[in-house]
Each structure stands twice: as C-alpha cells, then as structure tokens.
Structure 1
C-alpha cells in the first residue's frame, strides 16, 4: 500500500481586484518586499519608489470558504504620461506560483484597468524568465535592458486583446488549478 504525502492546501478560488483595504495594500507591499528584496535580491533594503505614490496596487487574494484571506499576488500600474501606462512589480507568493492563472489574471486586470482609463499604450519591463508568459498574453518585446543589475525585456501589450475594466475594485473570482509538481 502506497501512502501519498498530502500536499499543502491551496485555495481553489482567488479574488482578483484593486487593493483598497489597508490590509490588502500592506499585504501587497509585504509580498513585494519578500519577492524583490529577500528572495531575488534585486533591491538591497526595499523596493519602494516614487511610483508607489501614484500607482494603483492590484492584488490576488486567496480565499477560505469564499472569504478573503491573504494577498498572494500583486502588481502595480500607473500613468507615466498622458495615455501611457506602465505595469511593474508583478509578484506571486512562492507557494502559489504553481497555481495556474494568478499572474495571468493580474496582468489582465492591470491592462484592462489602464485600458478603461484611456491608455493608448501599456508597457512593462519583464524579467526574462517571464517573457514567454507575456508573449502568450499578446505582448511583444521591444528590446532587452538591464534594470537593477538584472536582464529585463521592455514589452508592450496589445490593448485590443484586453477588454476595458471599468471598476477594478469590484474585480472577480478566479478559479484556478494546481500544476503537477
């Protein structure tokens, strides 16, 4: 008789929306710090910058019995110039990276929100290992560049592939699946 080791519980539903509550905003900041400072070492002390003063924080929140539980994914967006929006600091918590669609859903919310606010151009610097995901989501590479000592690809979203999302605070529930190890 073979007894399989139980896997850690991963909620099957996630809220995808703009962070509005203090715990959501704090959870996004904490996840970014863990990802870009502690884990990847891209920044020495913190990843906060001037963009945080104007950016909209977007989050993926795990649920338990359909109730919000924990921020497990985040990205921020901002308008840099009239009609030109940028996405940055996309992060998914390590225990949730094997869960399908969290990054994709955050990207969809980011571009769709900017699209509803008049974006004519949506750009991001994407870490090289994530370029294939963005290409599958109708983004095109515009050239490689080092940022903070790490290789990135400047990318542009095809806005026609992203319907406008008028109310990102409402968001949606995303049902996900867990990829096999």
Structure 2
C-alpha cells in the first residue's frame, strides 16, 4: 500500500539509494540515451527526432542509478563528458528523470562526478552550455557564466567550472551513493 499524505494524495515510491558512476554496461548506456530522448526531445522539444550527435561516438556517459532490493534498478539521471582538445573538456546533455529532479541532489552529483572525472583525466578547463534556468544551480557549484548564448533557439550560458572546487576522481573512487531523500 502506498503512503497517503494529509490531503489524501498518494505519494509515489522513491528508492532510498542512488549511485552516480561511469556508465559501464550496455543497458546503462541505452537507458541514458532513452532518458536524454525523453527530456530533450519529448519534454523540451529541443530536438525533433533524436538528440544524438557526433560527440556520442567518443563521449563518456555518466549515470545516476536508483536502487531497489539491493540492485541497480533504473537510470534516473545522466550526463556525458568529452575532451574537445588537449585539456579542454565539455559536459553536456545533463538530464534527470522528471520524478527525480528534486531528490537526493542527483543533478549536483552528476555534475561533480563529471568534472572530477575529467579533472583526473587531464582536464585544465571544463565548459558546458547551460540552459538559463539552470544557471543558479551551476553558480552555486562554483561555475562562472562566460557569456550568454543561443542554443537551438533557447537562452543558454556558456559556463566554466572552477576546477579547484572539483578534486580529481580516479576510476577506483567512482560510485557516489546517496541514501537520503533530501530536496535539492
């Protein structure tokens, strides 16, 4: 039975644990792509058929996985990182499933792991094109807006992470587990 709230609305089940890590299984990559499609094509209409591009050929996807009964259950968040030129890295396609956007700081953890992973791989500068409504989140995570840009007809900011705030994450250190339901 689902728990009821004081006004008799049903509260959906939310797992108590999440892992944020490099996507290393085929189903994780497939589900990350499906989540990106849902967010960027269906919900936001930024792309008509697919958000996939040339970057996907060499990007490293990172996923947030929900846990159920001690096992990874589903991809509830994703981001990808790639090196554009020696030392210059980009993060892109940050997406969190609709029912999880205010849970367990998943977006924040995806950003931290993305920048920390790139930092460990030789990143000297980390950039992202951030939708304008998400700029305050990135600023709270030690990012600076460099300029206002237009991406696919929508206002964005080209932003840069302060690498001093993101220690390098070696492959053996990956796997951040969040076990609370705190609101971001």
**Shared topology, TM-score over 0.5?**
yes
Match of 2:75 among 68, 71, 80: 71
Deviations 1:84-129 (A, max 9, x none): 0000000000010121310000000000000000100000000000
List alignment gaps of at least 5 residues for structure 2: 1-5
Match of 1:92 among 96, 113, 116: 96
2:165 counterpart of 1:161 = yes
2:3 maps to what in 1?
none
Aligned residues: 179
Once residues 54 and 88 of structure 1 are traced to their aligned partners in structure 2, the CA distance between those partners, rounded to angstroms, is 13
TM-score (norm 1): 0.94
Which portions of structure 1, spanning 4 or more consecutive aligned residues, are displaced by more than 2 angstroms?
A: 2-6
Q: Is the 8 A contact 1:59 1:106 kept in 2?
A: yes
List alignment gaps of at least 5 residues for structure 1: none
Once residues 58 and 101 of structure 1 are traced to their aligned partners in structure 2, the CA distance between those partners, rounded to angstroms, is 15
2:154 counterpart of 1:146 = no
TM-score (norm 2): 0.93
Q: Is the 8 A contact 1:61 1:68 kept in 2?
A: yes
* Shift of residue 172, structure 1, vs aligned partner: 2.2
Q: RMSD of aligned C-alpha atoms?
A: 1.6
